[in-house]
Amino acid sequence: MAECEILMEHVDMSYPSNVYNARSIKQDFFSWLKREKTTALLKDVHALNDFNLLATDGDRIGVIGHNGAGKSTLLKTIAGVYPIEKGNIKVVGKIRALFDISLGFDLESTGRENILYRGLLLGATPEEIAEKQDEIIRFTDIGEFIDYPIKAYSTGMAVRLAFAVSTCLSGEILLLDEIVGAGDASFQKRAKKRIMELMDEAKIMVFVTHDLDMMREVCNRCIVMNNGRVVFDGKPDDALYAYSQHTDRGN
């Protein structure tokens, strides 16, 4: 099998300002009633700024940084969810993405139907999903609720189903945004075991986390992000020191 690779060269990605500046008729009406001045328009948010990264087989990369540094945007850009404006990006290998894990669920449809919907969204074929269906249902441990509409589920049940579907499919590049934090103690134990198995199976892992101890435990490399850029790339312990320096300077 060919080696896996993630290559990003001088990548720029912004959120357009019209998303933030859009106002409803209701907002404009009440502003007029209150005689409020029009607020200054917000600028584009530069989420990735001249971003460079090379990851190859064996890399277990932790990504740390302040909120808004661009960490989650990085994962979604690698996965192809967000288009880039400038630069080049090349991904060699099948991606398994664990973020927004409930994306693709239809509240009016049953859990069993949503297994198919979510699986298709993740790039699996109907045959692959059918082959994994029983395994997914066993892992969720929600019993007869698998044939109830998702709108009847508790938050924990929905997360368990979403997690089970998202982690049952194969992939060589694991993109992980934190560890799933919902469910009872029994599910948490099973979820962590499965995550560790996925980490072991992956050829490349990119792991966004605020859990610095976990990052040190599972990663052999770490990048520190600030304002959409890589400000440090190296060993986890050195990265933590670099991160603390940025924190102390308030950057």
Q: Which of 32-36, 148-152, 226-230, 246-250 is predicted least confidently?
A: 32-36
Tell me what pLDDT residue 21 has.
Answer: 44
* Range of the structural domain that residue 221 is part of: 5-93+209-248
Flag whether pLDDT at 182 surpasses 90.
Answer: no
Tell me what pLDDT residue 226 has.
Answer: 93
| Same domain, yes or no: 50 and 77 | yes
| Same domain, yes or no: 144 and 166 | yes
| Percentage of residues of the chain with pLDDT beyond 90 | 57
- Enter the tokens of residue 55: 């990851």
Give me the CATH number covering residue 68: 3.40.50.300
Domain count, the chain: 2
| Same domain, yes or no: 86 and 137 | no
| Same domain, yes or no: 146 and 186 | yes
| Same domain, yes or no: 77 and 144 | no
* Helices vs strands, H then E, count in the chain: 9, 9
Cβ atoms of residues 86 and 12 within 8 Å: yes
Count the alpha carbons within 13 Å of 32 in the hemisphere toward its beta carbon.
Answer: 7
| Same domain, yes or no: 140 and 85 | no
| Same domain, yes or no: 145 and 222 | no
Cβ atoms of residues 5 and 55 within 8 Å: yes
| Same domain, yes or no: 107 and 186 | yes
| Same domain, yes or no: 12 and 86 | yes
| Same domain, yes or no: 213 and 89 | yes
Flag whether pLDDT at 39 surpasses 70.
Answer: no
- pLDDT grade for 65, boundaries at 50, 70 and 90: very high
Q: Which of 26-35, 90-99, 123-132 is predicted least confidently?
A: 26-35
CA atoms of 5 and 7, how far apart (whole Å):
6
Residue finishing a domain among 202, 224, 240: 202
| Same domain, yes or no: 166 and 129 | yes
Please state whether beta strands 221-226 and 60-65 pair in parallel, antiparallel, or not at all (unpaired).
parallel
| Same domain, yes or no: 103 and 191 | yes
Q: Which of 10-19, 90-99, 104-113, 133-142 is predicted least confidently?
A: 10-19
